Amino acid sequence: MRGVTVTCPKCTAEMPVEFSYCGKCGMRLLPPEAVASATRQVTVLFADISGFTSLAERLDPEELHENMRTAWDAIAAEIRGTGGLIEKYIGDAVVAVFGAVGHEGDHPERAQRAALAILGALDRENARIAERTGRYLALRVGVNTGLAMAGAIGDKESEFGVLGDAVNVAARLEQAAEPGEVLVGDATYRLTPGLFTYEPHPPVAAKGKSAPLVAWRLLREETAVASDRRRTPLVGRDGEIALLMGALDDALASKGRIVSIVGEAGLGKNRLVDELLADPRALGARVARARCSPYDQHRAYGAIADLLRRALAIGTSAPTEIAHRTLSETLPGMDPEATKLVLAALGYGLTLPPLSGDTRRKLLDRAIRDLVLRVARTQPVILALTDVQWADTASQELLTTLAPAFANVTALVITTYRPELTPPWTTSRGHLQIRLPALDPTSSATLLQALLPAGALPQQAVDDVVARSAGSPTYLEEASRWLVSTGVVVEREGATPLADVSRMTDLPDGLPMLLLRRAEQASAPERRVLHAAAVAARASDPTLMRALFGQDVEVDACLAALSARGLLEPTTHGDYRFRQPLLREYVYESIGPRQRAELHGRIGQVLESVMPEVAAQQPELLAHHFASSGQIPRAIAHAMRAGERAASLYALKDALHHYRAAAELARRLPGQGGDERARALLQACDAARGLGRTDALAMAEEGLAAGPSEDTLRAALRRRAGELAARSRETQRSAEHLAEADRLIPAEGRERAELTLAKAFLARSDERPAEALNVGRTAVKEALAANDRALALEAEEAVASFAADAGAADESLRATERCVEHANAIGDLSGLARALATLTYAALDRGDLVTAEDLANQLLGAESRLGNVDGEAGALRALGRVFFGLGRLAEAEATLQRALALADPLAQGQQPPDPASTLLVLGSVAIERGQFAAAGRTLAEARALAERSPSRLHIAARVAAELARLALLQGALEDAQQQAATAYSAATAHECRRCGAGIAATLVEVACATGDLAVADARRTEGLEHAFRLGLPVATAEIRAASARLLAARGDVVGARNECIEALAVFEKLGPTYLADRTKRRIQELDVTGRAQSA
């Protein structure tokens, strides 16, 4: 029985008597004095018509009103139809509120349905409006949920209104939306899990807000098919789920994690990811999920680019301007060069800054890291990358560098892959590996029975299916589908299902045949679309399919049918992918070779003509399609573009793959494509050379053997071969190549400078250091004359090396200083950092601590801009040594702790930031501060980490020497003698003069203390020779100061005192202060000894 109602005086709708306002039109129902406002949770929709201003300029007021009335009528009908109240119109905008009257709790859902509906309503009216006005209109919509005052806002005669921050946020979201776009606030998003499909949007800056607003782009209502996978039971994985949810909890508590789910195909790795993403704790996180395919293995930065596009909601068809704006909004102040590099990694064709490859790579990696961290500081981030066994090398390496950066942010990275892969991030501290075993028989039976109607199969039949599954949940899921779809199991309403157990023998034993049998059940048109999807390799865009089949096939109907059969599934981006990744592989292999080749060719042509943005972003994909269809020239062209794209990002392993592939394809051209093959091998040689591979020379000579007809191509190959042979000390081979290159290369220009530099390496390989130095100087001049500063930098670096070989240390330093000039001129941060590092350590060696401090700060700045963590650690370590030498021990310790914080001491793999070297210096500082216990612990830790240090050979000797000195100071002579022997053996084993000079003073003192004066004398002589040859004045002085003990032990106190006085003069001029203080104390001791002898 209906309750008492009241009639609205405006729209005549019947409303419950307790309503103060009409729930349909918002009209006041009660007298003014009876109306009271109330604070309640509401959802506000703010919509603005884009294009109104230009329309108002062209139409008179009456025409404008008529056209706008058409639009507003359609919009208002949709808002009211979903239970919204139109609070007011403001010119070309409308404000509606949901949940302001009544007690319905679904107002966030209704508001979003209304937002999608009004976009459609305006689209339907646009044709008529455009016909009358020549203009199309579009809506920008903002939706937000929050507390607001609803009721009579204003004076007592005022009608219904809402007031509060929820309204302001909705308005700000509307302003940030693009025409035709709906932006939803985070509160609204969290209140409607699983009901709609969203994309993340860059944080929206809002006036008066302390932090940007988290926003989501509303795409569509979620479909039943899309959520079907999440409803599949998860059985027998309780332990794995507990670990995964624990990692999620850690990430949400700002203890970022990287998780690897490892297992054979079909064991349910992706199903675990689904479970985590469906968990309420993940709601509100910005989720980016991408799946790798076999065709992604050499798509430079492909996996990371897919994740980044999804994390930042940059669609594959988004123009460069939109992508650029999204990056700028996400990370304001991003370096313009870094922005271009990120856009290039996303596949946009841009002219990249003229930087060295290493600088580009480091700037790009830092920019991507900063983008992800920026988002993670705004809201939780979950990055899920599946089938990583097919991810490109550059993406895997970048994920490894990202792992430690997530330690203190709300970020979770989930990867899935098969056991044959061992990715580099598995040794990082925040890594968790979850290995999936096959399901046990009990869990397998439970899963099968949960997938089938209750009581569908007798126990014997269940056991039979479980045995066939071998513990694969994918097999069990597909088997249940097959049993139902083929009628082996028939569900009956209100009765036990029927099962024709006699037909169980038809159930395929293996997963491949089971999946293919299900695919065979599709109709002929559906199978055509399924085959095309398998050949298309990655997620299939309906646009591609429509263009491929034209009017021959109802593509949309086939895609929907294949989704209903569980063979394909729609993604949140509107395309389709195989529900089971294995199915794509099996379907692809089942297609006949001729049909497969034809499909490859047609898909390649469609991508070129209909989807040029994909062709530009993924040339490697087109190279694959054309190579598989026998269209060799086009395949070579795209393979070369893929190589060029990878090389431009300094992803040299991927570049090498593509160039080698192009060279092999060229063999299939008439005459084996001599020029094409040689051109590809020239680029492959350069990539291999950049990777330091020993087969680079063979590639250049292979290119020559291809018989190129072009002189410039032959000259370039000869030049590369000559230089690489010289670097390999194959002098005769090098001379032959360079002589032929000399004949082909012009007398001036870049090519001539490159040839001259190669000749310098030839002279070095022939042990003519002075000639190498002179020829190298000529190469620098020729490079500058050709206005090629990058080549001049390369040649100047070689000159510095040649000068060192020739014993011209000062010339080597001057050349390194010129490297700084060249690097600054072209903005080459990597070259700058290399030169500054050399100069910094040279200043430390000669005891010029003031200069070393300035250089180390410059080095720190360059490495920080590059985002090069190991370089930053090295620069901080150098600064720590400077402060140590200047006697600023507290600053030294603080700076060294900063360096140590950049490392991951719990990681099990290589440690580029080199914590062992930092701990070594920290141990030395602790010794000078008299903190012997702390020094012992620190040095022991350094020794433990030494094996994972890039400088492990040097560290072993240095740590042992410091432990010997510590033992000597503590009076443990036997221990000191043992550590000294270890230090000497380590230094001798790797024949390092610098280590020999650095540890000699300690070895002399230990030998003197233990009374082994012959050993002390030998260590003194060796150490002084090493220090002299390297030009190390401070090390020389330290050895002489230590030798005072040897002379004193032999009774020559005057000689000992003279050695100390000369050493002190060096320390007082150059530092370090702690050695000056130590030497002064020794002189005082010698004076006391001398007076005693005189007495």
State which amino acid sits at residue 286.
Answer: R
Residues 371 and 343 sit within 8 Å (Cβ to Cβ):
no
Contact call for residues 149 and 164 (beta carbons, < 8 A): yes
What is the Cα–Cα distance from 919 to 324, expressed in whole angstroms?
43
CATH of 225-341+353-435, one of 3.40.50.300, 3.30.1440.10, 3.90.660.20, 3.30.930.10: 3.40.50.300
The share of the chain scoring above pLDDT 70, in percent, equals 92
Tally of CB atoms within 10 A around 582:
15
User: Count H helices, E strands: the chain?
Assistant: 47, 19
Alpha-carbon gap, residue 759 to 751, rounded angstroms: 12
Return d(Cα 584, Cα 293) in angstroms, integer.
10
Domain 524-760 bears CATH identifier 1.25.40.10: yes
SS3 assignment, position 617 = helix
Q: Is 589 exposed, middle or buried (0-12, 13-18, 19+ CB in 10 A)?
A: exposed
802 burial type by CB count under 10 A (0-12 exposed, 13-18 middle, 19+ buried): buried
Say yes or no to pLDDT of 59 above 80.
no
Closest-CA residue to 251 (of 289, 277, 229, 213): 277
CA-nearest of 324, 329, 328 to 346 is 324
Burial class from Cβ neighbours inside 10 Å (0-12, 13-18, 19+) for residue 711 reads exposed
Q: Please name every residue paired with 183 in a beta bridge, in sequence order, or none if there are none.
A: 142, 217
Which residues, in sequence order, are CB contacts of 510 under 8 Å at separation 6+?
A: none
Of the candidates 610, 611, 617, 609, the residue with the CA atom closest to the CA atom of residue 350: 617
Q: What is the pLDDT of residue 905?
A: 47
Closest CA to 1045 of 1011, 1091, 1085, 1005: 1005
Residue 21 has pLDDT above 90, yes or no: no
Above 70 in pLDDT, residue 911?
Answer: no
Which tens digit of pLDDT belongs to each residue from 116-168? 999 988 888 887 776 676 667 788 999 999 888 776 555 444 456 788 888 88
Per DSSP, helices labelled H in 331-392 are 336-345, 357-378
Q: pLDDT at residue 909 above 60?
A: no
pLDDT at position 89 is 84
Q: How far is residue 191's CA from residue 193's CA, in Å, rounded to a whole number? A: 6
Task: With CA atoms as reference, report the closest residue to 617 among 673, 532, 529, 541.
Answer: 541
pTM of the complete model? 0.80
Got the DSSP string for 164-226?
SHHHHHHHHHHHHSPTTEEEEEHHHHHTSTTTEEEEEEEEEP-TT-SSPEEEEEEEEEPPHHH
Other CB atoms closer than 10 Å to residue 540's CB: what's the count?
25
- Count of other CB atoms within 10 angstroms of residue 74: 18
Cβ-contact 17, 34 below 8 angstroms: no
Q: Which pLDDT belongs to residue 897? A: 93
Residue 17, pLDDT above cutoff 70: no
Half-sphere exposure of 1 (CA within 13 A, CB side): 2
Contact between residue 204 and residue 332 where contact means Cβ atoms under 8 Å apart: no
Q: In this prediction, what percent of the chain has a pLDDT beyond 90?
A: 50
User: What six digits make up the tokens of 146?
Assistant: 């929050």
Find the range with the poorest average confidence among 698-712, 941-955, 983-997, 1007-1021: 941-955
Dihedral sign, Cα of residue 489, residue 490, residue 491, residue 496: negative
What mean pLDDT comes out for the span 586-603? 92
Task: Over range 1053-1062, report the average pLDDT.
Answer: 91
DSSP-derived secondary structure letter, 21? B
The residues, any chain, with a CB within 8 Å of residue 463's CB and separated by 6 or more, are 441, 445
Residue 268 phi/psi, 5° resolution? 95, 30
Kindly report the number of other CB atoms within 10 A of residue 370's CB atom.
Answer: 19
Per-residue pLDDT reduced to its tens digit, 836-865: 999 999 999 888 999 999 999 999 999 999
Q: Dump pLDDT digits (tens) for 561-570.
A: 998 888 888 8
Region 610-638 average pLDDT: 91
Domains of the chain, residue spans: 1-35, 37-221, 225-341+353-435, 446-490, 524-760
**pLDDT at residue 989 above 60?**
yes
Least confident of 426-430, 478-482, 756-760, 1025-1029: 426-430
Range with the lowest mean pLDDT among 56-65, 190-199, 446-455, 955-964?
56-65
Q: Mean of the pLDDT values across residues 371-399?
A: 91
Instruction: Return the structure tokens found at 575.
Output: 């395309």
- Say if CB 826 and CB 354 are below 8 A apart: yes
Q: To the nearest whole number, what is the mean pLDDT of the chain?
A: 87
Non-local (6+) Cβ contacts of 781 within 8 A are none
Buried b (16+ CB within 10 A) or exposed e, 502-536: eebeebbeebbebbbbbbeebeebbbbbbbbbbbb
Q: Which residue has the higher pLDDT, 876 or 28?
A: 876
Whether residue 419 has a cis bond before it, omega within 30° of 0: no
Question: Mean of the pLDDT values across residues 665-680?
Answer: 91
Backbone angles phi, psi at 265, to 5 degrees: -60, 140
Q: Which of 611, 533, 541, 618 is nearest to 574 (CA)?
A: 541
The whole-angstrom separation of Cα 110 and Cα 516 is 42
Rounded CA separation 734/1037 (Å): 44
- Euclidean distance between CA atoms 896 and 881, whole angstroms: 9
The whole-angstrom separation of Cα 52 and Cα 48 is 9
Residue 34's pLDDT band, with cuts at 50, 70 and 90, is very low
User: Is 782 in contact with 753 (CB distance < 8 Å)?
Assistant: yes
- Phi and psi angles of residue 150, each rounded to the nearest 5 degrees, phi first: -115, 130
| pLDDT at position 227 | 46
Tell me what pLDDT residue 230 has: 44
User: Rounded distance, CA 550 to CA 605, Å?
Assistant: 14
Summarize pLDDT for 788-832 with one digit per residue, the tens: 999 999 999 999 999 988 888 889 999 999 999 999 999 899 999
Cα–Cα distance, 291 to 248 (Å, whole number): 20
Task: Please tell me whether residue 201 adopts helix, strand or coil conformation.
Answer: strand
Do 122 and 92 touch, CB atoms closer than 8 A?
Answer: no
The Cα-based distances of 227 to 106, 572, 808 in angstroms read: 20, 11, 72
Identify the residue whose tokens are 């109802």: 554
Q: Which residues pair with 125 in a beta bridge?
A: none
The two three-digit tokens of residue 535, written as one number:
């050949």
**CATH class of this structure's domain 37-221:** alpha beta
Residue with tokens 């108002």: 56
